[in-house]
């Protein structure tokens, strides 16, 4: 790779020769002007045979002066500049290395003074660190108490801020999210969970926001320990049950909600078992009808007094046969259902007035119509899956507004025996019964979103009823839901605390302060962004000539901290030969990649791992070229901004002779381990980048846009692959 030429050093090298040439030319011109023609002819005759010798002497003299100029520049200019750059690195990092002696005697003496100051600073820093550690013992004890508490939980626990960014998760959550991955065999499925990563990669944002709104309503009613629960499907097809509790911003009961805790349980198997039990029950009913009919017919015939003995015996045989068949069928069903536990879709207690208020807001927000609450029993408590019920109400209201021109809707809520009846009422345009029945089985659509639910599904979740009715006398019609009432004594009961054995190995509560407001990334501070630092190992150095990726390794930086446990490492089958000359460099042999997934499977998983982050690499042009060449075949496009530690080093330390990763790491005091493995290089690059960020800030390079602009001005940015 061509290194940048220092223009000042080039000028120092050429300047003495140019000055000498100008002096000689000036003297020659002056001499020519003072001599008579005859004298000039005599001088020309004298110098002409010796022109080559004079030219050679001139060139040697110019070269010598150039070498002296270059040496003087390096001795008196470049050496102090390098010393200043290295001193800035030592001032901004924890590095304790000694500066290499270079330059003049005075410059060497200055380096020695800097070394003494660095040692003194190290001693002072060690003393401060000891005092900080002593003062932090109580905080560490609190952390250990948290760890002990988390170790008692069998459920997956995830803590998020209000933007849905993950602040804490336990080991069981890590294992569960990996199991939820659409590609769990790739790099451990680590693309779904991580500090600072969005929980909305797994959960529908609207569902979580609805649960948060329910919690806020309960707090407003004075509930000291509000919670909510919901069931949702994941992109990988699993069914999760989540219980949510708020995290307050302070100790006061009226403190604002700063985030939420999710306790997760995978109920996919339970749901499948419940569906199987339903099928068994249906089969039992259908299979028993014919047998019961035969039994009843046989018993009726036996009641006639004139039945002869052979006929009586035949009917008795029918009864015995059908009874045995029914006994076997019931025994088989009982045997199968005895192996499982019944699972119901979880319903939560909710004040009926709160449901009506939420429905009013949702319908008015979504549709251009008026909605009023009419005849609402404020004392009713319902047992609901409030999210799905609200979606059904918004869907029905939308069809009335869009298809029938209704502009005024009313909601009524009243007790109906052991149930509650919720009515969506309108006046004016009539609707046929066939249309109303069709709406019950039509997928629920709200805005541009279509849910995998129908109104009938929502009703079945509540074990309720739904119908359409017209009141011709009052010229009105309504949809009516029959819903379950909450049982007395069940409200606000805290869920029993499960027990288990995982620890909170992954947390960073500083992320509560990280704002994820929608702003241009170029204006965001580097210290506030999340980064994916990655590296690739390849079959060779020519991506355009057919070389392929054989390994991808990556780690994450969130909140200015390297998250070593959040990593991506995956071998790739290149489907071509690995040159023998490259094996000693990366250590990846053909048998190691045989049977590994191809790049068409690995790149989507890596793309998910890097979602919502800025990419960082060393000599990023090389790695990005490999990724770009796979866009057409994989359909995966990396559109994130990319920062290059090679270019950033050149921006910060233009006087340094090398910007290789090892050289930068040595300057910044980073220990190099695992070099020339994809994950090892990514880890070193991440450590380097973390140390470069404060150095960039000292130069006024604070935002992502400033860093990208500065890097592109570097000469090394012109390198292409």
> Dihedrals φ, ψ of 92, to 5°?
-95, -10
Query: Which residue in 225, 475, 565, 676 is the catalytic one?
Result: 676
Nearest to 668 by CA among 684, 679, 654, 651: 684
Nearest to 480 by CA among 433, 429, 421, 438: 421
Which two structure tokens, joined as six digits, stand for 134? Answer: 């002593």
Q: CA angle, corner 221, sides to 216 and 223, nearest 5?
A: 80
Which two structure tokens, joined as six digits, stand for 48? Answer: 């002409």
Q: CA–CA separation, 110 vs 315, rounded Å?
A: 116
The β-bridge partners of 416 are 419
Nearest to 348 by CA among 230, 439, 427, 174: 230
Reported as type and span, the H/E element at residue 648 is helix 645-652
Q: CA angle, corner 387, sides to 490 and 440, nearest 5?
A: 110
Q: CA–CA separation, 369 vs 277, rounded Å?
A: 44
Nearest to 90 by CA among 716, 682, 698: 698
Q: CA–CA separation, 638 vs 620, rounded Å?
A: 13
CB atoms within 10 A of CB 256: 11
Reported as type and span, the H/E element at residue 159 is strand 156-161
**Where would I find the beta strands (DSSP E) of 417-519?**
419-427, 443-446, 449-454, 465-471, 476-484, 506-507
Burial class (CB in 10 A: 0-12, 13-18, 19+), 388: buried
Nearest to 298 by CA among 282, 279, 283, 314: 314
Which two structure tokens, joined as six digits, stand for 554? Answer: 């990556």
CB atoms within 10 A of CB 339: 7
Nearest to 431 by CA among 419, 440, 421, 444: 440
How far from the centroid of its chain's Cα atoms is residue 126's Cα? 37
Any residues with CB less than 8 A from the CB of 258 and at least 6 apart, and which?
Answer: 161, 162, 247, 248, 249, 512
Which two structure tokens, joined as six digits, stand for 603? Answer: 């790149």
Q: CA–CA separation, 594 vs 97, rounded Å?
A: 44
Please tell me what DSSP assigns to residue 250.
S
Nearest to 647 by CA among 617, 674, 671: 617
How large is the angle between the packed helices 352-366 and 386-404, nearest 10 degrees? 40
Nearest to 694 by CA among 290, 41, 131, 90: 90
Q: Is 171 a catalytic residue?
A: no
Q: CA–CA separation, 175 vs 183, rounded Å?
A: 14
Q: CA angle, corner 211, sides to 209 and 212, nearest 5?
A: 65
Instruction: Collect contacts of 336-341 with beta carbons under 8 A, ≥24 apart.
Output: 336/276, 336/277, 336/280, 337/277, 337/280, 340/270, 340/273, 340/274, 340/276, 340/277, 341/270, 341/273
Is the distance from CB of 568 to CB of 678 less than 8 angstroms? no
CB atoms within 10 A of CB 518: 4
CA distances from 671 to 662, 667, 683 (A): 9, 10, 10
Residue spans of alpha helices (H) in 248-385: 268-302, 309-337, 352-366
Which positions are annotated as active-site residues?
Answer: 676
């Amino acid at each position: 790779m061509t290194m940048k030429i220092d223009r000042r050093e080039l000028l120092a090298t050429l300047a003495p020769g140019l000055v000498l040439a100008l002096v000689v030319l000036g003297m020659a011109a002056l001499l020519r002007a003072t001599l008579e023609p005859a004298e000039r002819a005599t001088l020309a005759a004298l110098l002409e045979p010796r022109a080559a010798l004079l030219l050679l002497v001139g060139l040697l003299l110019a070269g010598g002066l150039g070498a002296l100029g270059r040496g003087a520049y390096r001795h008196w200019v470049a050496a102090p500049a390098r010393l200043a750059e290295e001193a800035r690195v030592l001032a901004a990092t924890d590095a304790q290395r000694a500066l290499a002696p270079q330059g003049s005697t005075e410059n060497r003496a200055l380096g020695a003074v800097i070394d003494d100051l660095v040692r003194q600073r190290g001693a002072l820093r060690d003393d401060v660190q000891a005092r900080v550690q002593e003062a932090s013992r109580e905080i560490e004890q609190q952390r250990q108490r948290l760890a002990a508490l988390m170790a008692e939980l069998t459920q997956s626990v995830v803590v998020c801020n209000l933007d849905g960014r993950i602040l804490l998760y336990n080991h069981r959550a890590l294992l569960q999210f990996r199991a939820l991955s659409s590609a769990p065999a790739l790099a451990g499925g680590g693309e779904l969970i991580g500090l600072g990563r969005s929980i909305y990669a797994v959960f529908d944002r609207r569902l979580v926001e609805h649960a948060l709104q329910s919690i806020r309503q309960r707090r407003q009613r004075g509930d000291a320990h509000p919670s909510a629960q919901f069931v949702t499907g994941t992109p990988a097809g699993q069914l999760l049950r989540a219980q949510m509790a708020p995290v307050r911003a302070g100790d006061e009961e009226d403190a604002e909600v700063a985030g939420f805790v999710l306790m997760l349980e995978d109920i996919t198997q339970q749901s499948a078992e419940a569906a199987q039990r339903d099928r068994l029950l249906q089969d039992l009913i259908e299979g028993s009808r014919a047998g019961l009919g035969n039994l009843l017919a046989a018993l009726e015939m036996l009641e006639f007094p004139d039945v002869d003995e052979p006929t009586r015996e035949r009917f008795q045989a029918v009864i015995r046969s059908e009874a045995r068949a029914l006994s076997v069928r019931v025994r088989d069903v009982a045997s199968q259902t005895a192996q499982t536990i019944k699972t119901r879709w979880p319903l939560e207690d909710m004040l009926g007035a709160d449901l009506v208020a939420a429905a009013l807001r949702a319908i008015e927000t979504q549709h251009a119509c008026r909605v009023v609450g009419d005849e609402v029993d404020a004392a009713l408590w319902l047992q609901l899956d409030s999210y799905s019920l609200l979606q059904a109400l918004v869907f029905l209201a939308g069809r009335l507004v869009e298809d029938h021109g209704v502009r005024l809707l009313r909601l009524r809520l009243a007790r109906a025996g052991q149930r509650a009846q919720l009515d969506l009422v309108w006046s004016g345009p009539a609707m046929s019964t066939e249309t109303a029945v069709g709406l019950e089985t039509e997928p629920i659509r709200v805005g541009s979103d279509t849910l995998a639910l129908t109104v009938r599904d929502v009703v079945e979740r509540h074990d309720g009823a739904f119908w359409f009715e017209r009141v011709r006398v009052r010229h009105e019609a309504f949809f009516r839901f029959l819903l379950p009432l909450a049982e007395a004594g069940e409200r606000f009961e805290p869920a029993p605390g499960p027990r288990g054995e995982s620890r909170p190995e992954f947390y960073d509560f500083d992320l509560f302060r990280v704002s994820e407001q929608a702003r241009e990334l170029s204006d965001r501070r580097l210290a506030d962004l999340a980064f994916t630092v990655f590296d690739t190992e390849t079959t060779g150095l020519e991506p355009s000539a057919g070389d392929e990726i054989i390994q991808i390794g990556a780690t994450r930086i969130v909140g200015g901290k390297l998250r070593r446990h959040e990593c991506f490492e995956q071998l790739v089958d290149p489907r071509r030969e690995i040159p023998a000359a490259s094996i000693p460099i990366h250590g990846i042999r053909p048998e190691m990649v045989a049977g590994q997934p191809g790049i068409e499977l690995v790149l989507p998983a890596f793309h998910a791992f890097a979602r919502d982050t800025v990419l960082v690499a060393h000599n990023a042009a090389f790695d990005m070229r490999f990724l770009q060449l796979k866009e057409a075949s994989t359909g995966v496009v990396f559109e994130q901004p990319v920062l290059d530690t090679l270019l950033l080093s050149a921006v910060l330390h233009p006087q340094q002779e090398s910007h290789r990763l090892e050289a930068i790491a040595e300057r910044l005091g980073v220990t190099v381990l695992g070099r020339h493995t994809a994950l090892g290089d990514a880890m070193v690059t991440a450590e380097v980048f973390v140390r470069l960020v404060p150095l960039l800030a000292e130069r006024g390079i604070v935002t992502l846009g400033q860093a990208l602009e500065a890097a592109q001005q570097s000469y090394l940015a012109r390198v292409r692959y």
